[in-house]
Every structure is written in C-alpha cells, then in structure tokens.
Amino acid sequence: MSGDGWAAVRGRATRMAGLKACATWITLAGGVLASVAQPFRAAVAQQNPNAPENFIKITAPVIALTHARAIDGTGAPARADQTIVIRDGSIAAVGPAASVTPPAGATVVDLTGRSVMPGLVMMHEHLYYTTGPGVYGQLGASFSRLYLAGGVTTMRTAGNVNGIMDINLARRIAAGELPGPDIDATAPYVNGPSTFLQMHALKTAEQARRHVAYWNDQGATSVKAYMQISRDALKAAIEEAHRRNMKVTGHLCSVTYGEAADLGIDDLEHGFFAAADFVADKQPDVCPGQARGQQTIAALDENGAPFKALVKKLVDKRVALTSTLTVFETFTRGRPMPPGLDVLTPQLQDAFRRAYDRAQQNPQSVYATLFPKDMALERAFVKAGGLLIAGTDPTGAGGVVPGYSDQRQIELLVDAGFSPLEAIAIGTLNAAKYLGRDARIGSIAIGKQADLVVVAGDPSTTIADVRRVETVFKRGIGFDPAKLIDSVKGQVGIW
Ligand SMILES: [Zn+2]
C-alpha cells in the first residue's frame, strides 16, 4: 500500500501546529490583535473532524526519542537508554543515548521510564462487529481509530462482509485522508452456500476464480476462505489469488488444514480451533460442524503422531498460523471481562455482558479444555518451526474491541507460554514477514518506517504494560490514543 499521502499529512500537520502556535502567541499579545487571532482560530476549528490532524500529538520533520527502552520486535532482549531518530517518517538512527546525538533542530522527546516497540502488525482484524443475531454492522470508521489508538499500525482484515468499504477505507488511510493503520484489505469471504446473510455463495471453481479476480480489480489485496468452501473452489481461489500476488488465508471446516496446505493456502486462522482434520467420519467438502471439530481438538495429544504429522505438513509447506485467542477467551468460563467495553454503545455493552454471564454459567463448555489445549498446540507449532502470527477477530458474541483486544492478544500469547519478547515478535515482525513487508515494517531498525508505539513501563518484563500506550507513531507521526478513543467513545456500534 502506498503511503505517499502520509508525507502530505506530516506537511499539513506541521503547518497546522505552526498556525496554532501563532494563534496562541497573538492571543497572548492582547486584545488589540484579537481580530487577527480570530481567523486563525476559525481555520483550526473548521478543519475536517475526520482528518488525521485532529488526533496528532507530535509531528516534526525530525524527532529524537531519547532515553527509551527499545524492544525491537525481533525477540532480542530490550535495550536500555536508547535514542531513536525519526526523519521524514522513517527511522534514521537508533542506538545508545550516549552515542546517538539528536540532530540539530530535532524535536526531542525524553522517554525516561518508557519503552518503544514496533507498531503492532495484526492479522485477523475486521471492520465489522456483531451487532445482532447473525448480523454484522460495518464499523470501519470508528474501528480504524481504535486500532491505531491500541498501537496497531498495520492490519489485515481477515474477512469482509461489506464489499467496498474495507477497500475504500484502506485507500483513504493510505492517502492520508483518514487516521488508521495501513490496511491489507481482504475481499468479501470466499465461501460456499451457507446461512450467512452477508456472504456470497460460490458454488463452482469458476465462480470462486471470478470472485477473487473481481475483488482484486476493485482493490482487495488478500483473500479469506470460509467454513463451507469446497476443495475445488478453494483451489481455484488460491490459483487466481497467487497469480495476482495475493495471499489466501482461511477459517476452514469443510476443507481440513492438511487438505488446504496441499492446495497451497498461505495461512490458517484461529490456531487449531478450526481444524476438522481429526473428525473420524468427516466427509470431503462437508463441514461436520465447528463443535465436532473442536471436541476432537480438545482431546488431541500435542505429542501424538497425528498432530505431529499435521504440524510437519504445515511447516514443510510454509503455512502460517494465526492465533486469535482473544475471541475464544470470551467464550471461556473463568476468564476476565475483556478490555475496552466502555467505548461501545450501551446496547452492545449490555448484549456482551449477557453473553459473558452465559459463558460463566456453563461448566460443560468445551472451552474449559479447548482454550488451554489450543495454547499448547500453538506452542508446539512454533517449537516445530512454524510461523505464528496474531490477530483478534472482533466477532463472536461481542466483547472483542479493536485496539484493546490487540493488546489483550499479546498478553494472551504470554498466558500461552511465550515470553513477552516472543509474544511481541509474533505481533510485529512475524506478521511483517508473512506479509513480505519486513524490509519496511515490523521491527525497530534504521531505514524502516517509523511505526512505533511508546508505552509506559516495560512490557519486556511486564506484558500488561502493552496496554499503557502513550503515543502511536505511524510513518513518523505521533498520534494521541486518548484523542482517537474520545472521538468514538460510547458510539462504537453505530459507525
Ligand atoms: Zn474473523
């Protein structure tokens, strides 16, 4: 995705900062000049309320972040007392504060007591949310602000129920017209006939191929297959997507993980929660029901030959796996209330609280064993050399709130047994590698895009500190999470 628009944002925002400073100075100078100050204030007030400029905390041609703890996203140990120099949206220098001097004229930000990590690269995001039974409301305008506020600077929408909005939002953010992460916009789901009101029903391989081609022509940059796809249709979708340099992921059921790997799929969603590979009487091309698959996963031995054979196939064929523990946590008894509910409309808050209460009152739920089991399986996949990436999936019965849940997903990877540094790498550089964009994003290194999150404390030892986001730099522009969140608070569910 081109980010040329962001150079324009940096230019406009720097000029706007100049205007504001000018207006303040004139106001301070006294009433005589009030008639001069007034037009300046009006210019500030009349700006487009949706423009990125409204949410900026810091922007300058050269910024030096000094005395920060740097967690670089590679999994390497944190380094204390570092200086990071940002010039024209990219990282120009990084090193010990004692040896990297801020350039003359740089805006210097002292980050003593804070950590800087790469912006999160999150891979199972959506711009829609469960707003009613079987109904998904399109909330792209508020969600894109929440994702950025939570520290997400690049995301993939792993499935799209509204056609063009994901694509247009990705374009307008790339053009610097709206705040938000860079978006890898997925085409509407590639699925067979199902009961979903907001999905296409692709019956043949030719229909699947045409669907992928059409949506790529409209601007979609990736593909997501779903639970009722046939092997033939999936094969055609993968061939067409690869021909067009797009990657394909899937939340599968009718096709097993092993079959999809043989067909050339690039990624599988939801850890092993969606694997139907171990259902003994599974019929080809038929989803035996998500619940049946999940019962077999809950009972699976991570050291047993069947699971090891599947993992070997995925690793050999370089199929990535996306962990989405956040959505499953909301179904699991005894887990805490998820963060961020207060940004939702009161109706959506109530709806989720009722779902949460139901989960607490269901001791028979498979999730009691399935949730920790999937964590163990994800660890085994990584231990065997698999590429694990992370996302949140704001669906289910609600409660997976963009931005907040991205931080929660990193915490849950630590719950799953990864170290904080490994969890951060999974949520940053691993995903950048999957996207083939690791030369530009995913870690803190000279020449990379200045997509950086400033957090209070030290998430390399206390992972909960990933929630303490103070500033989110996207392409060198520092955004204020509080301003982004306040602009949507209580309204998430409407837009
Ligand atoms: Zn999803």
Quote the ligand 1 centre to 270 CA distance (angstroms).
8
Instruction: List residues bridging with 136 in a β-sheet.
Output: 130
Positions of the chain with pLDDT lower than 50, given as ranges: 1-2, 21-42, 44-45
pLDDT of residue 16: 64
Q: What is the pLDDT of residues 399-414, one digit of tens each?
A: 999 999 999 999 999 9
Statement: the pTM of the whole predicted model exceeds 0.75:
yes
> Could you give the 3-state DSSP secondary structure of residue 284?
coil
Pairing of strands 62-70, 114-118: parallel
pLDDT of residue 47: 77
Quote the ligand 1 centre to 250 CA distance (angstroms).
9
Beta strand residue intervals within 88-242, DSSP E? 90-96, 107-110, 114-118, 120-125, 128-132, 135-138, 152-157, 182-184, 222-225
pLDDT of residue 42: 47
Residue in this structure with the two tokens 């670089």, named with its chain if needed: 72
Quote the ligand 1 centre to 19 CA distance (angstroms).
43
Longest dimension (CA), the chain: 86
Quote the ligand 1 centre to 30 CA distance (angstroms).
57
What type of residue is 88? D
Quote the ligand 1 centre to 160 CA distance (angstroms).
9
Cα distances (angstroms) measured from residue 408 to each of 99, 314, 399, 439, 484 = 36, 26, 12, 27, 19
Q: What is the pLDDT of residues 350-398, one digit of tens each?
A: 999 999 999 999 989 999 999 999 999 999 999 999 999 999 999 999 9
Quote the ligand 1 centre to 53 CA distance (angstroms).
31
Q: Which of 493, 471, 156 is nearest to 351 (CA)?
A: 493
Distance between CA atoms of residues 489 and 182, nearest Å: 22
Residue in this structure with the two tokens 């999937």, named with its chain if needed: 374
pLDDT of residue 15: 72
CA atoms within 13 A on the CB side of 130: 18
Quote the ligand 1 centre to 176 CA distance (angstroms).
27
Taking the CA atoms of residue 479, residue 483, residue 485 and residue 486 in that order, the dihedral angle to the nearest 10 degrees is: -170
> Could you give the 3-state DSSP secondary structure of residue 446?
coil
Distance between CA atoms of residues 69 and 224, nearest Å: 37
Quote the ligand 1 centre to 37 CA distance (angstroms).
50
Quote the ligand 1 centre to 273 CA distance (angstroms).
12
Residue in this structure with the two tokens 């209580």, named with its chain if needed: 490
Quote the ligand 1 centre to 139 CA distance (angstroms).
14
Cα distances (angstroms) measured from residue 222 to each of 53, 126, 225, 238, 252 = 29, 13, 10, 10, 16
Pairing of strands 128-132, 135-138: antiparallel
Quote the ligand 1 centre to 324 CA distance (angstroms).
9
pLDDT of residue 256: 98
Quote the ligand 1 centre to 159 CA distance (angstroms).
6
What type of residue is 273? F
Under DSSP, the state recorded for 492 is B
